[in-house]
């Protein structure tokens, strides 16, 4: 055990100070009373604050300053007298006995900080301090909202809001720092938010006299680190709420010690430990809650990384020398949201999961009778009703992608849950019985009135509490329940529930709601059977064939006792028929059906007897045509390899391009407006690349892609009936620098790789590597760099066997992080791109497709990328509205950057949809060292990407990365790895390693799984659930058009055999036509057509 750094402080000599008085270490060393008993003055500018400080008789004359205005640089100037002030910050230097208190919500310190130095007995209360910078314009206080430095004693910071708009790279430092002997401090009911750094105790390892600090009932929201960073001293943290820790949380080091009690952690990355040093700190942990679904502990072999979890144990014991009362940890989120921060009623805990209003609207000038009046008559002991949903769990029927059950209980109107149909269920539940007499249900903005029928049910006894057509507040006689269901029985448009709030307003029954924290929460990661997870409860899919429907399902977080299937010919569960009640598997075939509509529901009954009902799924057995028969001539032209592009009955270029466009279909997601070279108004041109023209194929392509006219590019079926390489680098073979780099080659040798290797005695096995990665690996060879695709272009490789060698194209252009050309409306489809082997940093950046320079509306669809030298499909410099679908990537080391630099703010506009792609690492490459790195699917900086229904084979680690505020929604994806592999990896390794690189931003992983397989790629054992959530991720699905939402919802598959088969059958060049096109076969036929065995 470590040695103590300090003697124990003196113990508290009196009873704990009550409610509106200071608690914690600031009660010791004589206590902290601020300006109590002193003169009261009002200030609306920084200059007036300075004048008040300087007008005292002595530097320790008590003073209370009420702030009722916005303090900023423009209204702050120095004053002189019994003070030492500045014009760049509010400075308490060499003074004592001062209270600085905000009035109502008026006290805002805008870009100007508060600095305490050589001072004692200071109270800072109800102040909102924001955006204080250490670099940029203006600067203040070294970038700290509050800074305490050099012999600072007995300070109470209470009910303040401290915030920034970023981290150090945006010019900010900490929200509250304590340095160079700062002691006996209490920080309470304060809201820290949106900052890279919370604060530190000790600025260096040698700064060893900062100690005895209490942090209680604070709200830490969307923070990176330092909550606090503690060196040498002792701190006490209790009843704090941490929601959104991006890098590391409480970080005791260099002998620092902290006791952490009854605090609540969610959406947190490495919430406690010693980080960035091997000089250990110590912690005592008691009755904290770490949300198992959103808290992550990053392990490392580094000698400077020591997270306390996931197996949490205390490493020290700390005696607290003052009395204090703890609130149950289950109450912490609701309690802290209601009480912490500035600019509202001053509230504190009432000790029983409610809040006590101390000051209703802080003291205002009209309340003062004279300069010596006090606020004693302001106290109000009314207890307000707490929203009990904030300490509950939630579940429901299947939900729309991107929404969450937990959104109805997060106290935010900007998030919501939507059922995956016009009907559905959302429930609020607790681990023990509670009393309830009121419910308030709020529809999300933009969706109000969409719910047209509903019922509110006490799930405990199935009593209908209320029903109606319009949602709002519902009151009823007090009931006792563990769960309340809202059943949406009908809706128009999308039903969207923002908040499902539950209350007990009759205080006579409030004692029944003193819920023990262990009934709801999961203290310190102890084993729990609580099912209050945010991932879907049930996912049901139905795949039709001519007279049969195959039903498959997955369930999460249900202890299954029974499973039942129901069927109806209308969308009414109430009148549906039970078709099976003895289900033990997760699949069922409903056979001997006639041609009509069918609706299905899965009901799972858990071990507590609670029924969980899926949303309905529907099929229509009357619409199972193999091909849309609207244009037989078009279908013949697309599918017949012997019918060339100008040989069908479609004679005009516009008709042929229309055929190509409609048979290809439409993208879904962010790029769903893309039409490429097809102009519905009649201006389309068909460009046929051939080998008989006086221009080379590469020159023909360059001519076509350089124009902004509507050009749909195809390849002559006869000229490209056999495999033919197209190499855009050949366009630079007349450049003398290129020829010199190739050992003074001729142009013919440059254009003929095999000829060059033969004439230079390079063996066939080394030919490509020598030619491209040795001789041409030179940044000065600009003639070989990517050629740009202009707007309104399609490159369509259907019907031909052309392969692009070494590199591909850029869509748009940029220079030094700024756009120099915007290309719009581009389609790249059914092409084969093959690299010349991986080169980590090839000087020519041989990407296959690079979208850049704010280019937008780009669809990359059904291509094959093999062993690319650099990326398959990079997105850089603010390109946006890009959909990447049904592509096959084979042994691609680095799939896609989304933003090439952390610092480029333009990349915040990147948006991509990546779905139904097949990512393959061949068995012989699985353990190869070159693939033991980040695979970049994608590497996201600042922008956002939605990945769903992708299949990964042979991906052992680090699939994606989130940095610099990027956001990724990763749902319904699957990973399949052979158990018999060269690295001896197993499920524990994959669950830890396949997705772990989250640094800053938002990452939500739902309904995605990893499976181990046998040597024939058949799944063995159970799936590993990858569900986790870091930071904040937007509902990207809600940003799509209605047409995209409907097409995705109708075709999305749950992870498993059917998804794997569907993607293997459709992904890549020459894959079967997928659901984007009306020419596609039905799901069942495509799945049946899938190749057997491994990809």
Q: Which residues contact 602 (CB under 8 A, 6 or more apart)?
A: 538, 540, 551, 553, 563, 564, 565, 566, 613, 614
Rounded (5°) CA angle 666-668-674: 50
State the SS3 of 17-63.
Answer: CCCCCCCHHHHCCCCCCCCCCCEEEEECCHHHHHHHHHCCCCCCCCE
Element of type H or E holding 260: strand 257-261
How buried is residue 626: exposed, middle or buried, by Cβ count under 10 Å (0-12/13-18/19+)?
A: exposed
Rounded (5°) CA angle 954-970-968: 115
Query: Distance (Å, rounded) from C-alpha 893 to C-alpha 839?
Result: 10
Q: Is the peptide bond before 138 cis (omega within 30 degrees of 0)?
A: yes
Catalytic residue among 226, 231, 935, 956: 226
Structure tokens at 333: 């989120």
Looking at residue 965, what DSSP letter applies? T
Rounded (5°) CA angle 939-944-947: 75
Element of type H or E holding 754: helix 753-759
Structure tokens at 988: 């524990």
Helix 632-639 / helix 653-664 crossing angle, nearest 10 deg: 80
Query: Distance (Å, rounded) from C-alpha 29 to C-alpha 33?
Result: 12
Using only C-alpha atoms, what is the Rg of the chain? 33
CA neighbor of 982 nearest in space, from 1057, 932, 1016: 932
Element of type H or E holding 988: helix 987-993
| End-to-end CA separation in angstroms for the chain | 54
| DSSP for 839-864, written as a single string | -TT-TT---SEEE-TT-EEEEEES-E
Query: Distance (Å, rounded) from C-alpha 1054 to C-alpha 1042?
Result: 21
* Sheet strands (E) in 668-799: 685-689, 711-715, 724-726, 787-789, 793-796
Looking at residue 774, what DSSP letter applies? I
Query: Distance (Å, rounded) from C-alpha 745 to C-alpha 768?
Result: 15
Give how far Cα 198 sits from Cα of 453, 609, 647, 662, Å: 47, 46, 70, 55
Looking at residue 1084, what DSSP letter applies? H
Q: Are 957 and 993 in contact (CB under 8 A)?
A: yes
* Sheet strands (E) in 569-633: 577-580, 587-590, 597-606, 611-613, 617-620
Query: Distance (Å, rounded) from C-alpha 697 to C-alpha 886?
Result: 26
Q: How far does CA 362 lie from the centroid of its chain?
A: 38
Q: Are 141 and 113 in contact (CB under 8 A)?
A: yes
Write down the H helix ranges in 37-143. 46-54
Query: Distance (Å, rounded) from C-alpha 670 to C-alpha 884?
Result: 10
Rounded to 5, what percent of the chain is helix, strand, coil?
A: 15, 35, 50
Residue 226 is a catalytic residue: yes
Structure tokens at 947: 């990945």
Q: How far does CA 788 lie from the centroid of its chain?
A: 33
Q: Are 275 and 301 in contact (CB under 8 A)?
A: no
Q: Which residues are catalytic?
A: 226
């Amino acid at each position: 055990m470590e040695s103590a750094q300090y003697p124990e402080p003196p113990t508290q000599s009196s009873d704990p100070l009550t409610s509106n008085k200071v608690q914690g270490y600031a009660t010791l060393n004589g206590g902290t009373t601020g300006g109590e008993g002193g003169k009261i003055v009002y200030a609306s500018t920084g200059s007036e604050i300075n004048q008040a400080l300087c007008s005292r008789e002595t530097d320790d004359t008590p003073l209370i300053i009420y702030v009722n205005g916005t303090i900023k640089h423009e209204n702050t100037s120095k004053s002189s007298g019994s003070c030492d002030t500045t014009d760049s910050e509010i400075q308490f230097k060499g003074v004592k006995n001062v209270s600085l208190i905000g009035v109502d919500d008026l006290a805002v310190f805008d870009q100007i900080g508060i600095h305490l130095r050589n001072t004692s007995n200071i109270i800072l209360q109800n102040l909102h301090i924001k955006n204080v910078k250490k670099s940029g314009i203006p600067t203040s206080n070294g970038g700290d909202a509050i800074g305490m430095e050099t012999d600072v004693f007995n300070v109470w910071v209470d009910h303040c809001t401290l915030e920034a708009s970023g981290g150090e790279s945006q010019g900010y430092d900490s929200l509250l720092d304590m340095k160079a002997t700062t002691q006996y401090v209490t920080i309470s009911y304060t809201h820290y938010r949106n900052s890279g750094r919370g604060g530190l105790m000790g600025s260096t390892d040698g700064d060893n006299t900062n100690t005895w600090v209490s942090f209680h009932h604070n709200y830490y929201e969307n923070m990176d680190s330092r909550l606090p960073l503690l060196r040498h001293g002792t701190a006490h943290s209790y009843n704090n709420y941490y929601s959104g820790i991006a890098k590391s949380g409480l970080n005791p080091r260099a002998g620092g010690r902290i006791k952490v009690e009854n605090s609540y952690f969610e959406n947190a990355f490495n919430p406690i430990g010693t980080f960035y040093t091997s000089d250990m700190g110590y912690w005592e942990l008691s009755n904290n809650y770490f949300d198992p679904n959103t808290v992550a502990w990053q392990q490392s072999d580094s000698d400077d990384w020591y997270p306390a979890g996931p197996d949490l144990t205390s490493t020290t014991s700390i005696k607290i020398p003052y009395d204090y009362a703890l609130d149950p940890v289950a109450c912490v989120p609701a309690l802290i949201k209601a009480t912490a921060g500035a600019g509202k009623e001053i509230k504190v805990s009432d000790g029983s999961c409610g809040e006590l209003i101390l000051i209703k609207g802080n003291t205002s000038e009209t309340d003062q009778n004279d300069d010596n009046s006090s606020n004693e008559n302001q106290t109000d002991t009314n207890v307000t009703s707490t929203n009990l949903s904030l300490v509950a769990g939630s579940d429901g029927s299947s939900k729309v992608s991107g929404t969450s059950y937990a959104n109805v209980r997060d106290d935010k109107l900007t998030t919501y849950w939507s059922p995956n149909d016009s009907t559905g269920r959302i429930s609020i539940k607790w681990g023990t019985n509670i009393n309830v007499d009121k419910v308030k249900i709020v529809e999300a903005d933009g969706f109000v009135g969409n719910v047209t029928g509903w019922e509110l049910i006490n799930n405990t006894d199935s009593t209908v509490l209320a029903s109606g057509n319009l949602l709002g507040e519902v009151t009823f006689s007090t009931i006792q329940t563990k769960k309340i269901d809202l059943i949406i029985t009908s809706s128009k448009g999308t039903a969207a529930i923002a908040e499902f709030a539950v209350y007990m307003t009759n205080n006579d029954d409030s004692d029944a709601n003193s819920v023990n924290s262990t009934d709801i929460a999961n203290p310190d990661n102890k084993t729990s059977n609580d099912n209050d997870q945010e991932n879907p409860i049930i996912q049901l899919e139905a795949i039709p064939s001519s007279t049969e429907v195959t039903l498959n399902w997955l369930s999460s977080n249900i202890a299954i006792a029974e499973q039942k299937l129901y069927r109806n010919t209308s969308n009414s569960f109430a009148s549906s028929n039970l078709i099976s009640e003895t289900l033990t598997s997760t699949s069922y075939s409903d056979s001997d059906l006639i041609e009509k509509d069918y609706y299905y529901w899965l009901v799972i009954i858990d071990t507590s007897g609670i029924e969980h009902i899926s949303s309905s799924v529907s099929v229509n057995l009357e619409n199972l045509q193999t091909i849309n028969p609207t244009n037989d001539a078009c279908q013949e032209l697309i599918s017949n390899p012997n019918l060339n592009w100008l040989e069908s009955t479609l004679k005009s270029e516009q008709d042929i391009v229309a055929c190509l466009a409609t048979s290809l279909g439409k993208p879904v997601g962010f790029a769903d407006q893309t039409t490429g070279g097809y102009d519905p108004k009649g201006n389309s041109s068909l460009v046929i690349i051939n080998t008989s023209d006086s221009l080379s194929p590469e020159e023909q392509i360059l001519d076509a892609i350089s124009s902004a006219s509507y050009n749909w590019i195809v390849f002559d079926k006869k000229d490209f009936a056999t495999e033919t390489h197209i190499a855009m680098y050949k366009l630079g073979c007349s450049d003398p620098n290129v020829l010199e780099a190739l050992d003074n080659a001729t142009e013919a040798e440059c254009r003929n790789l095999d000829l060059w290797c033969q004439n230079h005695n390079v063996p066939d096995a080394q030919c490509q590597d020598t030619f491209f990665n040795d001789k041409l690996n030179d940044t000065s060879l600009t003639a070989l760099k990517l050629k740009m695709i202009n707007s309104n272009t399609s490159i369509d490789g259907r019907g031909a066997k052309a392969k692009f060698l070494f590199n591909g194209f850029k869509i748009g252009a940029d220079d030094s992080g700024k756009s120099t050309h915007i290309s719009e409306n581009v389609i790249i489809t059914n092409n084969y791109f093959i690299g010349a082997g991986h080169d980590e940093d090839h000087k020519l950046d041989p990407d296959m497709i690079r979208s850049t320079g704010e280019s937008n509306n780009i669809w990359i669809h059904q291509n094959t990328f093999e062993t690319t030298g650099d990326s398959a499909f990079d997105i850089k410099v603010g390109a946006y509205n890009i959909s990447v679908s049904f592509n096959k990537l084979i042994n691609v080391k680095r799939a896609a950057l989304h933003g090439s630099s952390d610092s480029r703010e333009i990349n915040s506009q990147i948006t991509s949809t990546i779905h139904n792609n097949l990512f393959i690492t061949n068995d012989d490459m699985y353990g190869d060292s070159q693939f033991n790195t980040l695979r970049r699917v994608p590497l996201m900086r600042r922008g956002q990407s939605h990945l769903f229904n992708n299949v990964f084979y042979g991906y052992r680690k680090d699939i994606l990365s989130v940095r610099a505020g990027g956001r990724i929604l990763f749902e319904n994806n699957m990973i399949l790895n052979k158990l018999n592999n060269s690295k001896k990896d197993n499920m524990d390794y994959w669950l830890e390693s396949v997705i772990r690189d989250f640094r800053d931003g938002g990452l939500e992983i739902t309904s995605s799984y990893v499976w181990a397989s046998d040597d024939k790629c058949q799944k063995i054992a159970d799936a590993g659930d990858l569900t986790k959530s870091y930071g904040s991720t937007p509902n990207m699905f809600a940003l799509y058009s209605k047409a995209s939402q409907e097409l995705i919802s109708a075709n999305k598959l749950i992870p498993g055999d059917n998804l794997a088969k569907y993607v293997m059958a459709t992904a890549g060049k020459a894959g079967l036509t997928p659901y984007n096109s009306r020419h596609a076969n039905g799901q069942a036929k495509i799945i049946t057509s899938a190749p057997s065995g491994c990809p």
